[in-house]
Amino acid sequence: MSAPVRMTAPAKVNLALHVTGRRQDGYHLLESLVAFTGHGDLIEIEDALEDEIVVSGHYAAQVPLGGDNLVARARDLLRDKAGGDARAPVRLHLEKNLPIASGIGGGSSDAAAALRLLVDHWALDMREEELLALGLRLGADVPMCLAARPLVARGIGEAIEALPHFPTLPMVLVNPNLPLITADVFSVLECRDNAPLPELEPLHDVETATSWLSLARNDLEGPARQLVPQISDILDELAGNGATTARMSGSGATCFGIFSSQSEAERAGAHLQEARPEWFVMTTHTHAAEASHGG
């Protein structure tokens, strides 16, 4: 049997998210600047006598099992696509470190990491375009999580433009440990036809990124605050602890603070963890454009 192989499934952070319209089928059209962090869930794969999924970690109890588990769905979908080359049973171990339904793409990132691991484990000859199409069948966010690098996402999230230049951003993620369902947030969104992202210049450092982000927004932040008022408290705490930008990610309720240095992020994260032990607090950083998905 081969040794276990592990990969990080990073948190996906929507640094800006503009809702620009709605399709006839009900899906919302978006433009979003997305980055991925150096920390997240962990996925491990190894040979097994029969298929098995094991879940551990702080948020393991929140992970759905059976047909709703995205890691299991990724395995089964890839196996159906690959046929006989993917018959060998596998044990997939998910260490769930990120809260679910939290606006940072945990389930989608888990599925993307599982697909990457399975393609390598089964030694499948699969083009990137095929893998992205397979990911889209699992969810609109899975293709961007397969890319796992700074990008602009458009459409329903599936149209991806990788960014050639993007800095590492020192960051603190905070969630009130309250799940927030995306459909519920969209249900209270009043304006669904907003302006697109500002023109994106190359962002080379924290200062230029902060300057550009001040021109952008998250159109779902207001609706999410109506449903989870604690989001306002988190944003105030991040700003009060020195964040140059404090904003909600995705449909919430996770918020992020960008800091001028990693040491400032560490200081703020430690203070928030001590002051608000009931919150999820993770001090991390985003990957630069040169970094690739891996663990």
Q: What is the β-pairing status of strands 170-175 and 280-285? A: antiparallel
Tell me: is residue 222 an annotated ligand-binding position. Answer: no
Read off the pLDDT of each residue in 117-130 and give the average, rounded to a whole number: 96
The torsion angle over the Cα atoms of residues 13, 17, 19 and 22, rounded to 10 degrees, is -30
Give yes or no: residues 148 and 64 share one domain.
yes
- The CA distance from 103 to 280, in Å, is 13
Residue 294 domain-assigned? no
Among the listed residues 64, 24, 15, the one whose alpha carbon sits nearest the alpha carbon of residue 167: 15
Examine the pLDDT at 85 and tell me if it is beyond 90. no
Is the torsion defined by CA of 158, 286, 104, 226 positive or negative? negative
Which pLDDT does position 295 carry in this prediction?
Answer: 43
Query: What was the pLDDT predicted at 255?
Result: 99
Is residue 111 within 8 Å of residue 71, measured between CB atoms? yes
Residue that terminates a domain, selected from 121, 136, 162:
162
pLDDT at 35: 98
What average pLDDT does range 126-149 have in this prediction?
A: 96
Query: Does residue 54 have a pLDDT over 50?
Result: yes
Q: Which residues are tagged catalytic? A: 12, 141
Residue 293 has pLDDT above 70, yes or no: no
List CB contacts of 179: < 8 A, sequence separation 6 or more.
62, 99, 100, 101, 102, 253
Are residues 191 and 148 located together in one domain of the fold? no
Domain identity same for 139 and 10 = yes
Point out the domain boundary residue: 162, 185, 201. 162
CB atoms within 10 A of CB 52: 12
Q: Look at residues 152, 59, 71, 144 and name the one whose alpha carbon lies nearest to residue 98.
A: 59
How many domains are there within the chain? 2
Task: Report d(CA 137, CA 54) in Å as an integer.
Answer: 23
| Max Cα–Cα distance, the chain, nearest Å | 56
**Residues 213 and 234 reside in one and the same domain:** yes
Region 61-79: mean pLDDT is: 93
Residue 32 lies in a domain: yes
Pairwise CA distance, residues 112 & 13, whole Å: 15
- 181 has binding-site annotation: no
Residue 107 annotated in ligand binding: yes
136 & 11 share domain: yes
Per the annotation, does 99 bind a ligand? Answer: yes
- 155 plus 177 within the same structural domain: no
CATH of the domain at 125: 3.30.230.10
Residue 43 labeled ligand binder: no
Q: Return the CATH number at 268.
A: 3.30.70.890
With bands split at pLDDT 50, 70 and 90, how would you rate the model's confidence at 213?
Answer: very high
Check the annotation: does 292 bind a ligand.
no
Residue 121 lies in a domain: yes
Question: Do 125 and 16 fall within a single domain?
Answer: yes
Do the Cβ atoms of 157 and 30 come closer than 8 Å? Answer: yes
- Are residues 76 and 214 located together in one domain of the fold? no
Same domain for 134 and 30: yes
Backbone angle region of 228, left / alpha / beta, with phi > 0 → left and psi within -120 to 50 → alpha: beta
Angle value at C-alpha 17, between 39 and 185, nearest 5 degrees = 95
pLDDT tens per residue across span 154-181: 999 989 999 999 999 999 999 999 999 9
Does residue 109 fall inside a structural domain?
yes
> How far apart are alpha carbons 7 and 295 in whole angstroms?
4
- Cα separation of 141 and 152, whole Å? 12
**Residue showing tokens 């609706």:** 223
Residues with Cβ within 8 Å of 159's Cβ and at least 6 positions away in sequence, in order, are 153
- Residues 120, 196 share a domain: no
Q: Is residue 290 part of a domain?
A: no
Residue 290 has phi, psi (to 5 degrees) of -75, -20
Q: Is 21 annotated as a binding residue?
A: no
What mean pLDDT value characterizes the chain?
95
Q: What average pLDDT does the segment 258-264 reach?
A: 99
Residue 293 belongs to some domain of the structure: no
Q: 210 and 96 in one domain? A: no
Q: Which residue range forms the structural domain that includes residue 104?
A: 5-162
Question: Which strand (E) or helix (H) includes residue 274?
Answer: helix 262-275
pLDDT digits (tens, 9 = 90+) for 10-53: 999 999 999 999 999 988 999 999 999 999 999 999 999 999 99
Using the 3D structure, point to which of 127, 162, 197 is the last residue of a domain. Answer: 162
Q: What percent of the chain has pLDDT over 70?
A: 98
Q: Does 209 lie in the same domain as 77?
A: no
